Structure 1
Amino acid sequence: MSIVSPVRHPDLKSPGTMTKRGWWLVGLNILIPGSAQLLAGSRRLGRIGVSMTFVLWGIVAVAAMLFFAWPTAIYWVASNVVALTVVQGVLIAYVVLWVILTLDTLRLSRLVRARPKVRPFIAGLAVLALVLTAGTASYAAMVAGVTRTTLTELFADGSYKEPVDGRYNILLLGGDAGPDRTGLRPDSISLASIDVETGATTMIGIPRNFERATFSDGSPLWGPYPDGYDCGDECLINYLYTYGVEHPELYPDATAGGSTPGIEATRDAVSGVTGLEIQYFVLIDMQGFAQLVDSLGGVEIDVPVRTPIGSITNTEPDYWIEPGVQRFNGAGALWYGRSRFAATDYDRMERQRQVQEAILTQFEPANVLGKFQGIAEAGVQVVKTDIPSVMLPRFVDIASRARATPITKLELVPGVVDTLDPDYAMIHELVRATLAGSLVPVEDE
């Protein structure tokens, strides 16, 4: 008699033997799916199960090594539509396989022959293990599918771009659209300049009422405004968005490139102001921004001073936000960033930066995974960008290094620069000095 005979050909009349056999088969199915079938059932199904188990262990081991040795490869898989489709298909296949093996293991266990008091525990262990494995894989497959859909809808097609002078410069716009507004105007204008080697990031803030923006001689706006944006009255930089929309012939290829004439006009203005070439833009719809915050489950902001909330036309604030750490829902965060009551544009700029930094800080895997679908759906509604999907692995890799360095800030506001009659030689030198200073290692205290 072979050693496996008691398992393959048990004494059906012995409850004790059948109980031990049930525990062993369920345990083996948990440790090495397919091994229960090799010992007590279909050896063909068992070989498939065991082989697939070893393949999965190998994939996990390779992925773990790559994550530490070459994380860009993992980022590529996580941001590639074809790779995500393959990952989703593989995960679904494992879910089906685990369900089949678990149900077949319960059948082979012949629980009706085990001791009555133990039967529920053996079955419960098998079901719990199935929920943990197949349930986790099902959720991962869902995340892969949602990620694939989000990448397709959010990120543009396009080719890889090399950094300029070792940096990627990304225009960040907060679109102030809403039911009480005609069209969209960039209420928040920033430029993120990121060093590709260190991830060191400099945020350059430009107030929306910055005047006489200049352009390079390669810009379509150089022709009508060779001496800077001069419309005859208040010529604010955020008006250029509307100017671009009204003159689409200046940027005939904008839409095909995933942008708009308004965004391109603003990009040229910010490039002229800072003296930096801008590779990409990200536009956040501030009206839909509340949906993103709600999807995150709210956001915590350390409010520095007591802040009135209300419209600029109010005689009294609608309410006050007290200083200290406050938790905001989407509508509250939006109002905190946009409130005009007894506030200058520079006050609002600072509050909007606080909201942006709070979201970035709390936008971590542990916080995102449990709400992934809602966040992804909100992101598609809130964000517009011309960053192509082919660039995502590079940017994710850079972002992982950026977390280790503090963000350097440069606000081009009165007291730092003249926003009414700008001295661009001085501004460009200030930008260059700030970027150079951001790369200086921070000394340990």
Structure 2
Amino acid sequence: MNAIETANEIEKVILVNVQTRQSDDLFTYELEELTRLTETAQGEVVAVLTQKRDSHDSKTLIGKGKMEELVHLVEEFQPSTIIFEQQLSPRHMRNIQEQIDCKIIDRIQLILDIFAMRAQSKEGKLQVSLAQLNYLLPRLSGQGVNMSRLGGGIGTRGPGETKLETDRRHISRQITEIKKSLAETEEHRRRSREKRQESHVFQIGLIGYTNAGKSTLLNRLTDADTCEENLLFATLDPLTRKMTLPNQFQATLTDTVGFVQNLPTQLVHAFKSTLEESKVVDLLLHVVDCSQEFVAQQEETVMGLIRDLEMEEIPLITVYNKKDQMHPDFVPHLHPNIVISALDESDMDHLKDFLWEEIKKLLVPYTKSVSLLDGGTLLSQMQQETFVSSIELDEETNDYIVSGYAKANSKWLGEINLNE
């Protein structure tokens, strides 16, 4: 049976999570997220094994006693996959599989697998394959019998079982080829970014924890028709659309992949070119799900990745979404912010007004005199490259008095003032 044939089948899964320094509440939250990740990958959790200990066991992560318990759970539930919350070393993998006769993966492999399911564009698929191959390459010697069990399903989407069983040289060659292809697509993306920057269009990047509602906001603010599934990583490939506020101010809005706590380093590196889309924006729109208990944890995950990607200098406003399901203990931590439900029309009107007030702070107001004789061409250019809020005719001078807002690097702030 291959991966394609099993892609839509529900696999029985046992989850394993070890509590070391986390609080009980955070440990429960991690387990709930691992459950949701498993469901997103089309798995059904049939049993959960948890353990509290000072540190991870060097041989099997969970120690001898819990390994015996896990063996019994496998005998009882006959799962096809066991997923560990913690990252498994090749040694862990090898020792566990000496005692258990089913597929073993960790949280990182699970997330990589979901990304493989979600990728739609050629670039997205290449990036996932690169991340998977980079993760698996140093672990080939530790996979052991697990390689023969990678017959499809969770943990095998992407490069595929036959490629994973080839030798290191072949995988290294694949990695080199993928990097070359990605370099070509990144060059095309770079040219597109430069073109957008030259057009003086105000650019907004949507970021946030996975499933916070970014795609829903994109659809409500633009004419986009993107996926709004209640799943983790429902959006993977970046999408840019034009947004027009009620006062006719226009901007571009770019949706990006959702972040998640402990996002695999391989994915941060592999998706760097995709996330570059957000590095050149004028404003970051950080969407937060205020119905979650661990809002602060999710906020810190996103803010940490913003620091890792060296995007701290970009102005940021926070949209606390899902107001209709707000958690009773919710308190906003980030400012400036607005609390809305993306499904509420009046809230969306408030958001648009709020956006304009915040955008206005990042623009430079101007007033220019434009000769009536030359006004047509210049006014047209100004309306395309700045936000013109008013045009009045001065009857004494026969000049147009143009007022508006422009980006700080706009030529209209210094070059055109025909009355001076």
TM range (shorter): under 0.3
TM-score (norm 1): 0.21
State the TM-score, normalized to the length of structure 2: 0.22
Structure (1 or 2) with the larger CA radius of gyration = 1
Bigger RCO of structures 1 and 2 (CA < 8 A, at least 6 apart): 1
Higher relative strand content:
2
